[in-house]
A and B are shown apart, each in its own frame.
Chain A
């Protein structure tokens, strides 16, 4: 899997850089992202402020670096929660017999029948804007794809010799799911996960922009865009940076996902 092309290698490097940014970015920030400094508000990029300051005189560069922890960190957390919930439900459907399968898949279809982000807006908005509501809303609307993949692969493995033999030997359904299905599932789940990770970043910034997500003064990228929009005429550059940050992260993760999918397809062929 690691015999990768040049593009893939650079994408892996980019993703590692993003992870490092989320972990260590705040440590590198030159100033406090929430320190208000009204006399120096809406400064252009340059001396003292690498990317200028916002309407409250806060350093935009510092806010971007701290924002990585919110935008990327939350997206990672939300997509990992979805991975755990969805995979568990999918495996229950695959090993749990007909009734469990029917039940889980109908619930999955119902949740898939509504555009996820619109549902997340409704849920987060009604629960009251906060980080907890945001996490809840995006997790509730973000587990279905994992469940479908987990169930699909699980069902396709059911007639494999080693699974049948394990069943005949009296191995419990739980152990079969844990030791036979789950390892075989991992590559497909990772491809789904990269897609959901990217979607979560977009979802968090969209909800933040609509005012239903991470609340000010926390420096989340969507929330920063909401602030910047008001001053679009006087300081248009302020609006560029947070959007750029979202774009670069989503692009890098999508490309990594594409490369991973190709690598898996190649491995299957050989």
Chain B
């Protein structure tokens, strides 16, 4: 299949991977330790459940979920998909000459694109998606 062609200096090319691994491990370890050290400890009924603020994990699975779960899922989807389009833009934008018309056009485009998400956000806000009561 596709053979992975590495750049010259095979060891140095692994540095980003190591960097990423280190960051991941540090982040995870830091969070576990920090929450041990400074987190409040209040045990109790709700706290002991699997999903602290979600549905009840025990009992029949055929009961109705609150419709807000679906709404949250869809809002997540909007932002999730938005991110996909930001990645290709972000990888190409730094290569443009800063200050050129081209760069301005590219910036305007991504801003317009993000403005459309703001419209979705306003719609969700007025529809009451973000009210959790």
A binds B: no
B residues near A, CB below 8 A?
none
A residues near B, CB below 8 A?
none
